[in-house]
Structure 1
Amino acid sequence: MIGTDIELPVGDGVLSGVDFGGHGEGVLLVHGSGHNAAAWRDVASHLVNECRPVAIDLRGHGQSRLGSTGPEQYWRDIGGVVTALAWDRPVLVGHSTGGYAVTAATAGGLVAPAALCIVDGVVLDDRDTSLAGHAGVRTTEAADRLRTMFRYGWKADDDQLHAYVEQCVREAGEDWLNAGARPGLVEEVTRRSFLRCGRWWVRRPTVEEIATVAAVEPGVEVFPAVDVYDRLTCPMTIVLAEDGFYASRRDEVRAVVDAAPGRRLVDISSHHNVPMTRPADLAAIILDLVRDRAAAPAGNAD
């Protein structure tokens, strides 16, 4: 399964993405920080017989040349993408940071999805704790960690890029994020994370992109704190990885789910990188939402 590279207009330019084909209900797939549209390829292969999955490269990621100048742009783009695709009430699926992106776009009224599927990407802190956490991401120490762990912003020539991709594939089985992922998928996601800039390949995102997105202020319209879920009325499924980022906070996730009807919590045996390590199981969860959307009476937005 190859898919077609596409460009999707947003307010100040275009985002890159992959249209995996298929027919029927639209399913927008939104990756997490450091990943890109290719991360969804194996999930999409299980979806195309029943719907039309499209994945995007968020600002500063993959092949999208747009960068963020403020902390909300990356999720505000989702409304423009849905409009460009001419979709009515799609299913929005977001992993990690992408989970908050689809949540915020819905809470901000930019899109009215048939359902949300949030994959190990929740916000559980109150506002003060969230502000402190975002400030911590913008420190010099945090930037150095990102450069060391993921080479964010690294400039490579052709030979260095090739060697790095081979290294990532070779070490994937021992890597905390890629262990269990198909080697060919690790290769594709890694390659797509580099954007050609003159004679160099630049690893996306840069640490500056991460810092910009983390520059949250108290007065933003949609604040990344647990009360954001009070603004949601559509059905919502939270997929919680048993060894993921939020495993120790399952009771708090359960409280978010129990706070409103139409919400569901699904536990999955995986570490954080669910789309790449458990694609078939995740696709089955998404297809349940697609089938519910298809079965819903016309005009029923909830």
Structure 2
Amino acid sequence: MTGTEIDIPVADGVLSAVDFGGRGQGVLLVHGSGQNAAAWTDVASHLVSACHPIAIDLRGHGQTRLDSAGPEQYWRDIGSVVAELGWERPLLVGHSTGGYAVTAAAADGLVEPAALCVVDGVVLDDRDTSLAEHAAARTTEAADRLRAMFRYGWEADADRMHAYVDQCVREAGDDWLNAGARPGLVEQVTRRSFQRRGNRWLRRPTVEEVAAVTAVDPDAEVFPSIEVYDRLTCPLTVVLAEKGFYASRRDAVRTVVDAAPARRLVDIGSNHNVPMTRPADLAAIILDLVRD
């Protein structure tokens, strides 16, 4: 399943997206940092019989040419996307950083979703701790780690780009993030992460994009800390990966879920990359929300 490439207007340009087709309730699929719309391909294949999934490339990612000039643009775009699609009360599904993106968009009132599904993408710290963590993400050492691990911002000719994609596919089985993902999906996502610039290819996101979105305003009303959940009025499902980034903080996640009605916690046996490694199980969770 590949879907149809579409452009969705936002305030200062367009976001690239994949419309997987289907009919019924709109389901917006939002990827995490470093990934792109293609990461949702296998999930969407299980959804199209019951709803209409569309996945976007956030700013700085995939084939979207817009970059972030500030820390809130990427999640504020979600309001523009939903309005442009003409969707009323869509289901918003976000993985990792995309989980915060859909949460922030709902918390700020940019969208009135039927429900949120946050996939291993919660924010659990207080404001001061979150500020310190975001500052640490903008250091030279952090940027160097991203370049070394993921080649963020790397420019290559076509041959070297294709060789890197092939390498990622070969090594996926032993990779901490991609182990268990379909090799063809790893190829599709990695390939989409390169954007053509003349006769060169740029690996996205760049470290500058990461720095922009982590330069959070300490006085922002909607802030990536645990208080953001107090602003939510819609149903919330948190999907927690048993080998994911937040597995050791399950009690804190449970506290968020227990703080309001119409919230639930669903455990899933997966590493952090749930959409690519457990697509059928994640789709089943999403379909339960569609049918509610």
Q: Bin the TM-score by the shorter chain.
A: over 0.9
For 1:122, the equivalent position in structure 2 comes to 122
Structure 2 residue identity aligned to 1:40: W
Displacement of 1:156: 0.8
Is the aligned partner of 1:9 residue 2:17?
A: no
Q: Deviations over 1:55-81 (max 9, x none)?
A: 000000000000000000000000000
Displacement of 1:2: 1.9
Displacement of 1:198: 1.0
2:68 match: secondary structure: coil
* Mean Cα deviation higher: 220-229 or 257-266: 220-229
* Alignment partners' CA distance in 1, 2:220 and 2:186: 36
Superposition map of 1:282-297 within 5 A: 282-292=282-292
Is the aligned partner of 1:75 residue 2:75?
A: yes
2:280 match: secondary structure: helix
Structure 2 residue identity aligned to 1:124: L
Is the aligned partner of 1:29 residue 2:29?
A: yes
* Alignment partners' CA distance in 2, 1:162 and 1:122: 34
Is the aligned partner of 1:143 residue 2:148?
A: no
CA-atom RMSD in angstroms: 0.4
Displacement of 1:131: 0.2
1:145 match: secondary structure: helix
Percent pairwise identity: 79
Displacement of 1:49: 0.1
For 1:106, the equivalent position in structure 2 comes to 106
2:133 match: secondary structure: helix
Structure 2 residue identity aligned to 1:255: T
For 2:276, the equivalent position in structure 1 comes to 276
Superposition map of 1:259-270 within 5 A: 259-270=259-270
Displacement of 1:221: 2.8
Q: Deviations over 1:241-300 (max 9, x none)?
A: 0000000000000000000000000000000000000000000000011111xxxxxxxx
For 1:297, the equivalent position in structure 2 comes to none
Superposition map of 1:1-302 within 5 A: 1-292=1-292
Q: Deviations over 1:24-64 (max 9, x none)?
A: 00000000000000000000000000000000000000000
| Structure 1 runs of 4+ with >4 Å offset | none
Displacement of 1:220: 1.6
